[in-house]
Chain A
Amino acid sequence: MPHNTVAVVGAAETTELGVIPNLSQLGLHADAAINAMADCGLKPKDIDGIACAANETPVNLAHYLGITPTWIDGTSVGGCSFMIHVRHAAAAIESGLAKTILITHGESGKSRIGNPARAVHPQSLNGQFEQPFGPMGPPSMFTIPVLRYMKTYGVTEEQIAQVAVVQREWAAKNPRATFRTPITTADVLSSRMIAYPFRLLMCCLVTDGGGALILTSAERAKDFPTKPVYILGTGESAETPLVSQMEDFTSSRAFRVAGPTAFKEAGIAHKDVDHLMIYDAFAHLPIYGLEDLGFLPKGEAAAYIAGRNTAPGGPLPLNTNGGGLSYMHSGMYGMYALQESVRQMRGTAAAQIPDAKISVCHGVGGMFAASGTIIFSNQAP
């Protein structure tokens, strides 16, 4: 049964994106939250539910923003936490636990003000069975399965580079994107090697920013000044904190659970999708996502992207804000993907897809550790 009894009525990013030296991480959360409340004409007293992910807590945000919640959610499973917050918030509103829920994100990923570096504890599973072998953060871990994928399906470095090229084309249309200058496959393949086969331009940005969403019932949504964006379907899952222990290096189990769960709940088919966001911390993620969500058979997504099917003018517009590769990426990108889906459904995106009615927004957490999928529609239930 579709979830379309709940809608997004408020949505905003931080006033600025990029390098923001004048706000702490908590301040970025608040800046986005205040912008989202202003977007839909609400005050803190109107909010009765609050969700956010590490390194803040819903307690911190309730206090800082002056909110008295009847529902809180601190789910923190990496960059898809916000998709999962939306899922939990929709269920909470449907079941009457809260009426108006604020989901916030702020991250001082570049300036690192009020954002402590997260160390891997040497007694953790990661600390014992991965960290001793020299990984240093996502660029050297998220990428480890990819050579196996490339060998299995005969995918080339040139095809992976094309993901970055196409997303830069989308970013070029977006005044808020960090990187807007067009790039070529040769540019990507001559950029600095980070973790073979991944080069700099196949890796996401590191920036500061934030975003916030406000959800309420579809019935109440009619009374708001903004165009309601309905939640049709949702999914979530988790696999492993250890990238070395993924069941299948060519596919994410968490994707294969979260995505189809959302499609089934929404009651839609892939051909119904007008707009797609797939969290792209690295250039291989849209490839895995297109296949694991069922848009394409295994092994075909790289050629599909290289064939310009997801580029401007193509049949399946993907990562239309420029994505984590070119728009912005503060560390946990999922909130920015959700914001672009909402803009596309409102008809206010910088690179607006004409007449788009259904948007799928798919997130990853950790290194293929977790996943969340949200399907939006701008059609009233």
Chain B
Amino acid sequence: MATPGRALPQPTPETQFFWDGTKANQLLLQRCDECSKVYFPPRPFCPVCASRNVSVTKASGKGVLYSYVIHHRPVPGFTPPYAIAVVELAEGPRMMTNIVECEQTPQALVLDMPVEVVFEPQTDTITLPFFRPASTQSAKG
């Protein structure tokens, strides 16, 4: 789905590590060193306890399809119909994404089906994390 024209993120100082991670084919989350909360999207403090003592942690890349819509209207960089999905990661956080290597139909996109991350470079600096149906039934172990 690396079609030209898709809106792309511009990293900020607080999110640069995340986008450096996807470029290196790693899905990076953060964990609070005080209360152990694993969270997303990135910020340099814990959204539960406000501790600044947080660590970057590599996600398994496994998750389940949590919810989605199949968009039928034209958007630059996309060929309708295409799904805009939310995946729930095995580590807990949810994130918006697209589901690739899968028919974009209600029949193929079944809620709670296991998915796994795949990384698709968009530019020299930005790689987006997408998800595809998992090759093994290992999600949410």
List chain B positions with a Cβ less than 8 A from chain A. 6-12, 15, 41, 66-73, 75, 77-78, 81-82, 84-86, 94-98, 106, 111-112, 122, 128
> Is A129 a contact partner of B95 (Cβ separation < 8 A)?
yes
Q: Does A134 reach chain B (CB closer than 8 Å)?
A: yes
Residues of B within 8 A of A151 (CB): 111-112
> Is B69 a contact partner of A198 (Cβ separation < 8 A)?
yes
Question: Binary interface profile of A, 115-130, with partner B (CB < 8 Å = 1, else 0)?
Answer: 0000010110101111
Question: Binary interface profile of A, 236-270, with partner B (CB < 8 Å = 1, else 0)?
Answer: 00000010110001000000000000000000000
Query: How far is it, in angstroms, between the C-alpha of A328 and the C-alpha of B108 when the chains are bound?
Result: 36
Residues of B within 8 A of A135 (CB): 71, 75, 84, 96
Residues of B within 8 A of A139 (CB): 73
Query: How far is it, in angstroms, between the C-alpha of A148 and the C-alpha of B8 when the chains are bound?
Result: 27
> Is B10 a contact partner of A122 (Cβ separation < 8 A)?
yes
Q: Among the interface residues B9, B67, B106, which one has the most CB atoms of the partner chain A within 10 A?
A: B67
**Across the two chains, which residue of chain B brings its CB closest to A149?**
B67
> Is A134 a contact partner of B98 (Cβ separation < 8 A)?
yes
> Is B81 a contact partner of A196 (Cβ separation < 8 A)?
yes
Residues of A within 8 A of B10 (CB): 122-123, 127-128
Cβ of B93 to closest chain A Cβ, rounded Å: 8
Given contacts A132-B128, A134-B77, contact A144 B84 (CB under 8 A): yes
A sample of 12 inter-chain contacts (CB < 8 A) reads A122-B7, A125-B41, A127-B9, A128-B9, A129-B95, A134-B6, A134-B75, A134-B84, A192-B72, A195-B72, A196-B72, A249-B86
> Is A249 a contact partner of B67 (Cβ separation < 8 A)?
yes
Residues of A within 8 A of B7 (CB): 120, 122, 127, 131-132
Count of A residues near B, CB < 8 Å?
A: 35
Query: How far is it, in angstroms, between the C-alpha of A330 and the C-alpha of B72 when the chains are bound?
Result: 22
Query: How far is it, in angstroms, between the C-alpha of A103 and the C-alpha of B71 when the chains are bound?
Result: 36
**Across the two chains, which residue of chain B brings its CB closest to A123?**
B10
Query: How far is it, in angstroms, between the C-alpha of A151 and the C-alpha of B66 when the chains are bound?
Result: 10
Residues of A within 8 A of B72 (CB): 192-196
The one of A125, A133, A136, A147 in contact with B67, judged by C-beta atoms closer than 8 angstroms, is A147
> Is A133 a contact partner of B96 (Cβ separation < 8 A)?
yes
Interface majority SS (helix, strand, loop, mixed), chain A: mixed
Q: Does A114 reach chain B (CB closer than 8 Å)?
A: no
Cβ of A287 to closest chain B Cβ, rounded Å: 15
Query: How far is it, in angstroms, between the C-alpha of A139 and the C-alpha of B70 when the chains are bound?
Result: 11
Query: How far is it, in angstroms, between the C-alpha of A151 and the C-alpha of B68 when the chains are bound?
Result: 12
Cβ of B89 to closest chain A Cβ, rounded Å: 12
Cβ of B57 to closest chain A Cβ, rounded Å: 17
Given contacts A128-B11, A128-B41, A245-B94, contact A133 B69 (CB under 8 A): no
Given contacts A120-B7, A134-B6, contact A194 B67 (CB under 8 A): no
Cβ of A73 to closest chain B Cβ, rounded Å: 28
Q: Among the interface residues A133, A143, A193, A198, which one has the most CB atoms of the partner chain B within 10 A?
A: A133
**Across the two chains, which residue of chain A brings its CB closest to B122?**
A132
Residues of B within 8 A of A145 (CB): 67
> Is A244 a contact partner of B86 (Cβ separation < 8 A)?
yes
Residues of B within 8 A of A194 (CB): 71-73
Residues of B within 8 A of A8 (CB): none
Residues of A within 8 A of B94 (CB): 244-245
Residues of A within 8 A of B9 (CB): 122-123, 127-129, 131-132
Q: Does A214 reach chain B (CB closer than 8 Å)?
A: no
> Is B96 a contact partner of A136 (Cβ separation < 8 A)?
no
> Is B75 a contact partner of A144 (Cβ separation < 8 A)?
no
Residues of A within 8 A of B67 (CB): 144-148, 249
Other 20 A-B pairs with CB < 8 A, given A140-B73, A244-B95: A128-B41, A132-B122, A133-B84, A134-B82, A135-B96, A136-B71, A141-B84, A144-B67, A147-B68, A147-B69, A147-B111, A148-B66, A193-B70, A193-B72, A195-B69, A195-B72, A196-B72, A196-B106, A244-B94, A249-B86
Cβ of B121 to closest chain A Cβ, rounded Å: 13
Query: How far is it, in angstroms, between the C-alpha of A143 and the C-alpha of B69 when the chains are bound?
Result: 7
Cβ of A272 to closest chain B Cβ, rounded Å: 35
Residues of A within 8 A of B97 (CB): 133
